[in-house]
Amino acid sequence: MNPPTTSELSLYQLTQTTDSDLASLTISASTFREWVDTGIRFLIDQEIQATVWAKLPPHSRWWTTLETYYQEGLSEQIYRCNISRSGGSAPSRHSSRSSYSSQDSLIPIVLETSIQLRREHFCLILSPQLCSLMLAQEQIPAEEDPPSGLLEPTTLKVIYSFNPNVIQKALSAIKHLITITDTTPVEVLTDSVLPFPLPSEIDTTLLTRLWYQFLPHISSVSPKIKQETTQPLPSKSLTVREEFLQPLTRELSTPLTNMKTALQLLEKKQHKRDIRQRYIDLLKKECDRQNTLLIGLQELLQLNQSLEESDPTVHLEELVPGIVSTYQAIAEEKGITLGYTIPAGFPAVACPSSWLRRILQNIIHNSLKFTPEGGRITVQTNLRSEGVEIAVIDTGVGIENSDIPKLFDSFYRGRNTLSSSVEGVGLGLTIVRHLIEQCGGKIEIVSQVDKGTIVKVIFQESSD
């Protein structure tokens, strides 16, 4: 069943050669996740029984809707595909609990190592009424290693096809890549690709309903990648730009959709107590996330409103000790040493005190989240040729070099966050960056995994 070499196999390229008219779209990872969730929720709403083959990132939010589909008892089978990185045996059904604790419901399928396929993710829906393929390819240099299967920081090329020929060839290619393990189901090893004929056409009523479910997400699609341009932020005012509003809209809509789905499922009386409790827990989690997001947005408004009443300069020896003392109790509870060093007579910096307070609070808060017991966090100041430097130094888990440029993107959460129980919406450092740029300053991050992180903020000296 397995071909001799698979390192260059690409499902994306296979679909392009199968159907030359199949156009790709450039979208973000969060939009692709919404598309997958929308397709699965459509199966739930229409009570369509289907077999699903999926290769998605390991974080639970990519699999929640598929898990719901399984719990509803509608799915024929859900195959969770992974790439074998060592060419050895497959991970057991419990080996991925750190990433996604509910994967016991889904059937693990291990695929042979493929350099191209590691950059690709898919959701293949197969049923007599509706068959479709959603396929995404990460847009990164081919020689670079994909970021641990996490799509959050990447731009994607995506195709969505209902073409039976494309779907059949994609499924056949996937089945030919299966690595046989002790957990591989017998039915996926048969020569027959499908137990039923692919529908030659889709019922127009069904397709119309699907189209209306996708309409809210169409605004996120771009025919090409937009080149980023650096524009100076207007002084004396905190602005909200399009690149912030678009992910904000998605960040608000996805939890609300999950909550709506959970409420609809709770209305069905036939669910067992443990399943109902799972939906209740999902509702609580999404409510907490929405509340955290709204608090962050309120902070942005409050910081802007308080600017007129704030001194445009601040003396660090008057501000830093109070901020550090605020977090002393939290640090002691976690067994972390927290301190500061500010030389006497240090020059004032050109930044409103309310803004600088929020900047340091967010940075120190992040350090506390990612510094383990017995660690150390220090706030210190230095004079540099370009101005006054405030450095927050910790001995925490560190940050991958490839993640550092993306930390300030709205709602981005790094890999150390996704692989842990740390909660957040990825808005804190976005606020920090906007405030620093408004003051004419800059921020630098130097980090090493398992060694720690240094966050440096540089401001101009105040002329007052």
Task: Kindly report the CATH number assigned to the domain that includes residue 345.
Answer: 3.30.565.10
> What pLDDT does 272 receive?
75
Of 305, 325, 359, which closes a domain? 305
More confident residue, 171 or 313: 171
User: What percentage of the chain's residues is helix, strand, coil (to nearest 5)?
Assistant: 40, 20, 40
Instruction: Determine, yes or no, domain membership for 229.
Output: no
Instruction: Please give the average per-residue pLDDT across 420-448, as a whole number.
Output: 75
- Is the same domain home to 350 and 287? no
- Is the same domain home to 341 and 256? no
What does the alpha-carbon distance between residue 260 and residue 238 come to, in Å, rounded to a whole number? 33
> What pLDDT does 51 receive?
92
Lowest mean pLDDT among 110-119, 130-139, 284-293: 284-293
Tally of domains within the chain = 3
Instruction: Determine, yes or no, domain membership for 298.
Output: yes
What does the alpha-carbon distance between residue 123 and residue 139 come to, in Å, rounded to a whole number? 18
Lowest mean pLDDT among 67-76, 269-278, 410-419: 410-419
The model's pTM: 0.49
Confidence check: pLDDT of 24 > 90? no
Both tokens of 355, joined, read 């803004």
Instruction: Determine, yes or no, domain membership for 224.
Output: no
Residue 463 pLDDT class (50, 70, 90 cuts) = low
- Is the same domain home to 150 and 297? no
> What pLDDT does 233 receive?
36
What does the alpha-carbon distance between residue 162 and residue 141 come to, in Å, rounded to a whole number? 29
Phi, psi of 134 (to 5 degrees): -110, 120
What does the alpha-carbon distance between residue 459 and residue 310 come to, in Å, rounded to a whole number? 17
Lowest mean pLDDT among 47-61, 259-273, 373-387: 259-273
Parallel, antiparallel, or unpaired: how do β-strands 51-55 and 120-126 relate? antiparallel
Residue 212 pLDDT class (50, 70, 90 cuts) = confident
- Is the same domain home to 350 and 253? no
What does the alpha-carbon distance between residue 277 and residue 50 come to, in Å, rounded to a whole number? 25
Instruction: Determine, yes or no, domain membership for 221.
Output: no
Instruction: Determine, yes or no, domain membership for 228.
Output: no
Residue 125 pLDDT class (50, 70, 90 cuts) = very high
> What pLDDT does 146 receive?
46
- Is the same domain home to 55 and 168? yes
Residue labelled with tokens 């390819």: 137
The dihedral sign for the CA sequence 310, 315, 316, 320? negative
- Is the same domain home to 284 and 400? no
- Is the same domain home to 322 and 426? yes
What does the alpha-carbon distance between residue 263 and residue 267 come to, in Å, rounded to a whole number? 6
- Is the same domain home to 260 and 343? no
- Is the same domain home to 29 and 169? yes
- Is the same domain home to 72 and 208? yes
Of 260, 275, 305, which closes a domain? 305
Both tokens of 166, joined, read 């494309």
CATH number at residue 208: 3.30.870
Domain that holds residue 82: 1-214
DSSP 139: -
**Which of 124-138, 231-245, 268-282, 397-411 has the highest average model confidence (pLDDT)?**
124-138
What's the number of CA atoms in the CB half-sphere (13 Å) around residue 33?
27
Of 305, 337, 362, which closes a domain? 305
- Is the same domain home to 346 and 424? yes
* Nearest Cα to Cα of residue 410 among 287, 241, 230, 218: 241
Confidence check: pLDDT of 399 > 60? yes
Distances (CA, A) of 231 to 25, 175, 227, 414, 437: 27, 49, 12, 25, 11
- Is the same domain home to 292 and 154? no
> What pLDDT does 142 receive?
44
Instruction: Determine, yes or no, domain membership for 225.
Output: no
DSSP 240: -
The dihedral sign for the CA sequence 300, 301, 303, 304? positive
Angle between the N-to-C axes of helices 29-45 and 242-266, in degrees from 0 to 180, rounded to the nearest 10: 20
> What pLDDT does 94 receive?
38
Instruction: Determine, yes or no, domain membership for 432.
Output: yes
Q: What whole-number percentage of the chain has pLDDT above 90? A: 21
Q: What is the pLDDT of residues 66-108, one digit of tens each?
A: 988 988 888 888 999 988 654 444 444 333 333 444 445 789 9
Instruction: Please give the average per-residue pLDDT across 162-178, as a whole number.
Output: 88
Angle (nearest 5°) at CA 358 between 357 and 360: 70
Instruction: Determine, yes or no, domain membership for 223.
Output: no
